[in-house]
Homo-oligomer: A and B are copies of this chain.
Amino acid sequence: MTGEFEAIERLRRLLPSPPAGETWIGDDAAVVVAPLGGLLLASDLVVAGVHADLSFVGLDDFGWKAMSVNVSDIAAMGGDPTHALVSVAGPPDIDLELLYEGIAEAVDAYGCPVVGGDLSSGAQLVVSVAVLGDAGSRPPVLRSGALPGDTIFVTGPLGSSAAGLEALREGRGHLVPALAAAHRRPIARVAEGRAARAAGATAMVDVSDGLAADLRHLADASGVGLALDHVPVAEGASLAQALGGGEDYELAFTATNAGHICASFAEAGLRQPIAIGRCTADPAERTLGDGELPSAGWQHQWA
């Protein structure tokens, strides 16, 4: 067995070291230089058996996912992730090194170092991440700024993660590697969020619970209607998975000037976002084509 402090020291070696003037892992709190702009703060946790089935999702994937879902929340504001805190509770036989390998890959991919956290025993593996982000000098993109007439965009086709999960559950993940990867290694769309914000996005949300549910949140917060023309379904996924599956971590956003958005994405060298409909003046409207937008979406249940 290894003591907590030795384990922390071992894991610290997997992670980048602080620049001069900052103190990261190893003191009571990390000391970091404040971003120049407004601060963004987000915290999400992932639970083994709830957010991922570790019989077909690796511990490294699980660590990656814990980071990505948090970075995605910063991306959904149009901000830049700057620092992460990672706290882990789990059984003593968990392969912490493998978990932190995935975390370290995400640190590298997102340029978001882990500056502190906690390790504790627990019956079930829980990885709780908090991310600090830089909002820059202008206000970030909230959920509440959409206006009637705005175009609704998503940054890519949806349903890959849910289709990948289904395939992995049925033991055919190896036949659809792109879908399996979408479930195991979701990617936060930081550059896309930045491009959308730079081009005047009025409201934005990440597709974590499912497009239908997440767009409803955006429309509820903005007091606008939703009239979707179509939903882009990822190859190999179903419409139901695209609408309700969630965990795609694409961004959905609204903009008054659609041309600015397309130009901004082109300039940043990003795949063009997909226009899927528009916001309307009737805050009760929630339509997809000629029908009602389904209310599908994932929620944890409480007494």
The residues of A with any CB-CB pair to B shorter than 8 Å are 1-5, 7, 23, 26-35, 37-47, 49-51, 72-74, 76-77, 79, 83, 85-87, 89, 92-96, 115-124, 126, 128, 130-133, 135, 139-140, 142-144, 204-206, 217, 221, 299-303
Q: Contacts A41-B83, A116-B41 hold; do A301 and B73 have CB atoms under 8 A apart?
A: no
Q: Contacts A142-B23, A221-B26 hold; do A130 and B43 have CB atoms under 8 A apart?
A: yes
Nearest 4 pairs of A and B residues by beta carbon: A130-B130, A128-B128, A43-B85, A28-B76
Contacting pair B118 A5 (CB below 8 A): no
Partner of A29, one of B28, B32, B133, B299: B133
This chain: how many copies in the complex? 2
- How far is A123 from B47 in the complex, measured between Cα atoms in Å? 9
Contacting pair B29 A120 (CB below 8 A): no
Contacting pair B301 A1 (CB below 8 A): yes
Task: List 11 other contacts, CB 8 Å, given A28-B143, A28-B206, A29-B131.
Answer: A3-B299, A27-B143, A27-B144, A29-B40, A29-B42, A29-B79, A30-B41, A31-B38, A43-B86, A123-B124, A132-B132
Contacting pair B31 A77 (CB below 8 A): yes
What's the least CB distance linking A135 to chain B, in Å? 6
Contacting pair B87 A31 (CB below 8 A): no
29 contacts between A and B (CB under 8 A): A1-B301, A2-B301, A5-B299, A26-B143, A26-B221, A27-B77, A27-B221, A28-B74, A28-B77, A29-B73, A29-B77, A29-B131, A31-B38, A32-B39, A39-B132, A41-B130, A42-B116, A43-B86, A43-B87, A43-B117, A43-B128, A45-B128, A47-B122, A50-B122, A92-B300, A92-B302, A121-B301, A128-B128, A132-B132
